[in-house]
Structure 1
Amino acid sequence: MKINILFMKHTSLLLFFLLCIFSFESNAQVNLKDLREKPDANIADTDTAKGLTITPINVPIPKLNLEVNYWKHWSKFGVNVNQAYFNEEWNAGGVNSVSLGGNIWHKSEYNRDNFNFVSEIDLRYGKIKNKDQLAKKNNDRIFWDNKLAYKLAKSWALYFSFTFESQFDAGYKYTKRDEGDQVVEVIDTITSNFMAPGYFTESFGLEYKPDNTFSLRLGTGTARQTLILDNRLKPLEGETRFGIEGEGNFKNDLAFQLTANLDRNLAKNLNLKSRYNMFADYKDLKDPDHRLDATLTAKVTSLVNVSLTGIMVYNSDEKPGIQLSQALAMGIVYSLPR
């Protein structure tokens, strides 16, 4: 009986102690929640925010004054000199000679949107003098080509071109005649001169240009005017010269023209430049005119070049056969831009 009473006393004390602890924890939780700081949406103090001022700063932007240049220009000036000498004791044969030649080449190109304009001029003149002979031309050409094109696709364009071709100086045939104890060379007849003949060519058609090194023109609408302004070269009655008949000095032809241009570097210091032109008169398509100019240039130094030039011409109005010309020369060439 005493044990039960003692157990009940201890049990009552334990329950009282647990109730006190529970009551203390509940009050502590309530007090901690009240002590928590509630966050405010306005972080900055209202009075401070109202007094805040922002001063704008103007940053100066410099003017660059940039301009787009749609033009490109290239120029070359060259001089070639060749000389050979043999004394009287030289037994292997040979003729003393000296030759001098010069050439000027310039190209300007304009590109904007789909429009392209190219102007190219090629001027060449040279003479050679052999011992006991008259000085003769070994190079003579005036060539000026202008082309305006409108791009239709990546490699195709409509074009219109204007070309002028002639020469600077008169060309002659030579003969020999006896004068006392020696034979001298004299002029026999004149064969050509400046604007005798002279050619003006206008062409319209399609141009194929896959890259900057090659182009092909198909001139379906082409007109060429041939002029002879030297009266010594005008054809006599019943004769034909340069396709002009019967004492005339002017002729106009309508034709199909094909022109191919190649300007490509075969190696680091080796360049091939060529131009082929075919002119087929609509009156006689079976006998077109052909001209091929090709120049292979090897760059020795920044100023010295070696060039091999070849020309092939077939024009039945001038000569019935094929005309050929070839020259190998070393000279000084100054190019712009450097």
Structure 2
Amino acid sequence: MKKMLLALTLAFAANFANAQDKKKDSIPPNGWTKDGNIQLLFNQSAFNKEWKGGGTSSVSGNLTLNYDLNYRMNDFTWDNKLLANYGLTKTKDDEFTRKTSDRIEFNSIAGKQLTDSNWYYSYFFNFRSQIAKGYEYSEDTDTGETIRTETTHFFSPAYLQTGPGMMWKKNDNFMFNIAPATARFIFVDDVFTSGVDYVDGDYFGVDQGKSSRFEFGASISALATFEILENVNMENSINLYSNYLDNPGNIDIDYLMNMEMTINRYLSANLLFQAIYDDNAVGAFQIREVFGLGINYKI
């Protein structure tokens, strides 16, 4: 885990340094600014019955929303970002349509600038959950049929983090925030923790019969957005969290990279990569990668 954390940190630092070289300083005007994009990624493969090379016909789609609403008034800033994505895939021989992506996240951070400095006193709020039900799939040993068991749904789990800190902000594209006194709440549906055989902490760290877990620790988050090549933009974000109350050495990691390669006003190719480490969920890295042709709509 430490090697993976080091690799992600070094990659983010390299991207951040590269971005510093390529982006000019820009101070947005006072008042509200907004920017957003809705994108539909589409993937499809098809094989006729005579095809002998192996493969299964499938179709998949992924809908993504990325919206920024920011406010500035002299030495005060308030940045808000809404992220959402939802993806499904259907293969020919599978009776179920399966999720490939499901995430909703809201970030808000307010800052009061120190005189003639890129540093700000800050206070942040972060909320993460999912949109639809999640399932685990298994096979019935008697019939051979696929069985699906619900394991998650909206607000189960849900994460809420908030706390004061210090933010370094070059502009809207480059910033990091350090919050050494962060409260974190994990919310779940107690239907998943109420079984007689349930072991405390097995479901996202929540104890038997409970619907929430409270943690107190330190949070570090960073954002770097820049242009790699003409019409090729990359947005990187990373969030680190250490819980003082339980195994502070186990650092939760959430890294997200979104690369958009613009074809024209409405079409783009998109690569999304995400790596999550949270030992309350599973003691290993969760990796997600999505690539496809995107249809864009500016909002």
Q: Settle same-fold status: TM greater than 0.5.
A: yes
Higher helix share: 1
Amino acid of the structure 2 residue aligned with 1:274: N
Q: Give aligned pairs, total.
A: 266
Deviation of 1:272 after TM superposition, in Å, equals 0.8
Selected match of 1:246 from 208, 214, 222: 208
Name which one, 1 or 2, has greater alpha-carbon Rg: 1
Distance 1:122 1:140, change over 3 A: same
**Offset from partner CA, 1:278-329 (integer Å, 9 cap, x none):** 1101122211111111111111111111111111111111001111111111
Contact persistence 2:30–2:74 (CA under 8 A):
no
Contact 2:139 2:146 in 1 (8 A): yes
Q: Which residue of 263, 277, 287 corresponds with 1:300? A: 263
Counterpart Cα distance in 2 of 1:296 and 1:235: 43
Letter of the 1:226 counterpart: I
User: Which residue in 2 is equivalent to 1:8?
Assistant: none
- Correspondent of 1:102 among 58, 63, 72: 63
Match of 1:258 in 2: 220
| Aligned residue number for residue 213 of structure 1 | 173
- The Cα shift of 1:95 comes to 0.3
| Structure 2 unaligned regions, length at least 5 | 1-28
Q: Which residue of 96, 99, 120 corresponds with 1:157? A: 120
Q: Secondary structure at the match of 1:93?
A: coil
| Cα deviation, residue 200, structure 1 | 1.0
- Cα deviation for residue 234 of structure 1 reads 5.0
Q: Distance in 2 between matches of 1:229 and 1:89?
A: 48
- The Cα shift of 1:145 comes to 0.7
Question: SS of 1:320's equivalent?
Answer: strand
Secondary structure, counterpart of 2:54 in structure 1: coil
The answer for unaligned runs of 5 or more in structure 1 is 1-67
- Give distance in 1, aligned partners of 2:195 and 2:256: 28
CA distance in 2, matches of 1:102, 1:270: 20
* Secondary structure, counterpart of 1:147 in structure 2: strand
Q: 2:185 aligns with which of 201, 204, 225?
A: 225
Matching of residue 129 in structure 1 with residue 90 in structure 2: yes
Which one has the bigger strand percentage? 2
Structure 2-normalised TM-score? 0.84
Distance 1:118 1:234, change over 3 A: farther
**Contact 1:168 1:193 survives alignment (8 Å):** yes
Q: How does 1:61-210 map to 2 (within 5 A)?
A: 70-133=31-94, 134-152=96-114, 153-177=116-140, 183-187=144-148, 189-210=149-170
Give yes or no for contact 1:235–1:244 (8 Å, CA) kept in 2. Answer: no
Contact in 2 for aligned 1:102/1:125 (Cα 8 Å)? yes
Cα distance change on mapping 1:235 and 1:253 into 2, 3 Å: farther
TM-superposed CA distance for 1:246, in Å, is: 2.1
Indicate conservation of the 8 Å contact 2:188/2:212, yes or no. yes
Secondary structure of 1:307's partner? Answer: strand
Shift of 1:213: 2.1
Taking the aligned partners of 1:100 and 1:324, their CA distance within structure 2 comes to 18
Q: Is the 8 A contact 2:193 2:206 kept in 1?
A: no
Amino acid paired to 1:148: A
Q: Name the CA shift for 1:178/1:250 in 2 (closer, same or farther; >3 Å).
A: closer
Higher relative CO (Cα under 8 Å, sequence separation at least 6) belongs to 2
Q: Could you tell me the percent identity over the aligned residues?
A: 22
